[in-house]
Amino acid sequence: MLDVRPMLMVSNFPAISRGTLETLQVNLGYKCNLSCTHCHVAAGPTRTEMMTEAVIAEVLEFIKVKNIKVLDLTGGAPEMNPHFRSLVAEARALGVSVMDRCNLTILLEEGQEYLADFLAQQGVEIVASLPCYAEQNVDKQRGKGVYQESIAALKKLNALGYGREGSGLTLNLVYNPGGPFLPPGQEKLEADYKRELFERHGVEFNQLFVLTNMPISRFGSVLLSKGQFNDYMQLLHASYSEPNLHSVMCRTLISVDWQGYVYDCDFNQMLDIPLIASDKPKVRLRDLMAENLEGASIATADHCYGCTAGQGSSCGGALD
């Protein structure tokens, strides 16, 4: 895989600082049942990195000490971590909202037959990747047959109440472009998704989040190999919108990798850009138990233009 980091480190991105910490985003490992072309963590079936029970205990302690409001679980497929269910159950017992970034197809994997039921029982919010409502586009980006499996998983979730009005079970979908261009407006695309998925499959969901592809890891490597990296970066720079700076996810979130090291966001984690709100070269979660991060500077590089381009995007979709 081609290394994009040297091309991103020189940047004139504006300085930003932290607000109140509300969300702990935890990467439970890079193992995944899919190998999507846009994946910014280069996850896949052969990856072996996995968060241990000891680090998960550290996560739970941090949640208690810092009164974290939201636990955002990601991967890979976070559900493939053997400690996923115990972490979810213990976090929910603490009164924390839990968000599972789910690729949908994992719900149909052997050994995961009751995963959807577990998520519903725990009241977990599901944020599910579905890069298009059309089969051809999804299979091109994620692999042959993924679209039909995703629809089957969505129907399974709907049957449990997910995405249904009044159920209290939230199902949000995620769109990201299939190439080096910005996503369309979130509101209109959400209307298109809701109409098409319901008319074609009877599928319902709550919200659609649109995300800009980050020029890092697998997607960045593809851009470099096709000679499109510089053009894409110019697009992100030209589309910069200053108001988006006030809502980027890193102001209220920190990201934890599978080993327990902390970063300002998930993208910085993949680029190995350390948290700069500390005097240590690499900071573990346990090192921050007594630290107040509010007002601390956030490490930035050129990829940050991806969060502020156009309507802006973060792990929660468009910013305006």
Q: State pLDDT tens for residues 80-112.
A: 999 999 999 999 999 999 999 999 999 999 999
CATH number at residue 57: 3.20.20.70
How many independent structural domains does the chain possess?
1
Mean pLDDT estimate for the chain: 90
265 half-sphere exposure, CB direction, 13 A CA radius: 24
Residue range(s) defining the domain that contains residue 166? 20-229+246-300
Kindly state whether residue 106 falls inside one of the protein's structural domains: yes
Question: Would residue 305 count as lying in a domain?
Answer: no
Confidence of residue 318 (pLDDT cuts 50, 70, 90): very low
189-207 pLDDT, tens digit per residue, is 999 999 999 999 999 999 9
- In one-letter notation, the amino acid at residue 294 is E
Average pLDDT over residues 241-245: 90
17, pLDDT greater than 80: yes
The residues that bridge with 29 in the sheet, in sequence order, are 50
**For 15-36, what is the mean pLDDT?**
92
pLDDT value of position 317? 45
Averaged pLDDT for residues 144-159: 94
Domain assignment present for 6 = no
Query: How far, in Å, are 19, 89, 189, 238, 313 from residue 241 at the CA level?
Result: 20, 40, 20, 9, 11
Per-residue pLDDT, 185: 86
Q: Is residue 140 part of a domain?
A: yes
pLDDT in tens, 276-293: 766 667 899 999 999 999
In a domain, 142, yes or no: yes
Residue 1 in domain: no
User: Would you state the structure tokens that stand for residue 93, as one six-digit string?
Assistant: 């017992």
Average pLDDT over residues 269-276: 87
Could you tell me if residue 163 is inside a domain?
Answer: yes
Q: Is residue 234 part of a domain?
A: no
**Model pLDDT, residue 240:** 93
Over residues 255-271, mean pLDDT = 94
Sheet holding 262-263, edge to edge: 208-210, 171-175, 125-129, 97-102, 70-74, 23-27, 253-256, 262-263
Task: Please say if the pLDDT value at position 137 is more than 60.
Answer: yes
